[in-house]
Amino acid sequence: MIEAELKARVLDPESVLDGLEKLASGRAEVYQDTYYDDAERTLTATDQELRIRTVHGAETVSLMTYKGARVDEASGSKPEHETCVEDVAAAHALLRGLGYTPTIEFEKRCRNYDLERGGRQVLATLVRVPELDETFIEIETLVKGSEDVADALDVVREVLGTLGIGDDAYTTELYTDAVAARRSAAQSGDR
């Protein structure tokens, strides 16, 4: 499956939150993400991601996710393979045993909305990463092949437009990169 997704910076979080609440009931969840790579940073160099995420919400669920290289540069959409993890400590140990080490860990505070648009199941997520001074929105839907990405992204853009978010707010910057840059700047400022 490919995650056809657009992410945007949100300048007016209250307005976007109000718009989302009119579309569906939201659920608050906190994601604890740990990203892995090998010593040579092979995954990062080839635009791949390997992550363990624990989602704290009505229930606590852990997921292992692998994302392949982007199939659409403009949106950053990637193939995604994800599975539930019953024993998160064992999953972390498994990855370390295979030679992967954590490259970055951080928390995302999310409010998720399940929508249906254009015959597609769509997930809208309002995101706040405590270390960053911005709010983001992610709109995504899953498609079977790269030939379906463009049509799926049209639906995603429609949802963003409904919320008053134009393409000038879109970003493909990864949270991992933004958090790493913020931590690096903080360390440089401490000297």
- Give the model's pLDDT for residue 79: 97
Mean pLDDT, range 14-24, rounded to an integer: 97
pLDDT at 61 over 60: yes
**CB of 97 within 8 A of CB of 116?**
no
% helix, strand, coil for the chain, step of 5: 30, 45, 25
- Give the model's pLDDT for residue 141: 97
Cα–Cα dist 103/166, whole Å: 33
pTM: 0.93
Q: pLDDT tens digit string along 115-156? A: 999 899 999 999 999 999 899 999 999 999 999 999 999 999
Cα–Cα dist 61/142, whole Å: 20
- Give the model's pLDDT for residue 189: 75
Which single residue is written with the structure tokens 């991992």?
176
What is the overall mean pLDDT for the chain? Answer: 96
Residue ranges of domains in the chain:
2-190
Residue range 2-190 forms a domain whose CATH class is: mainly beta
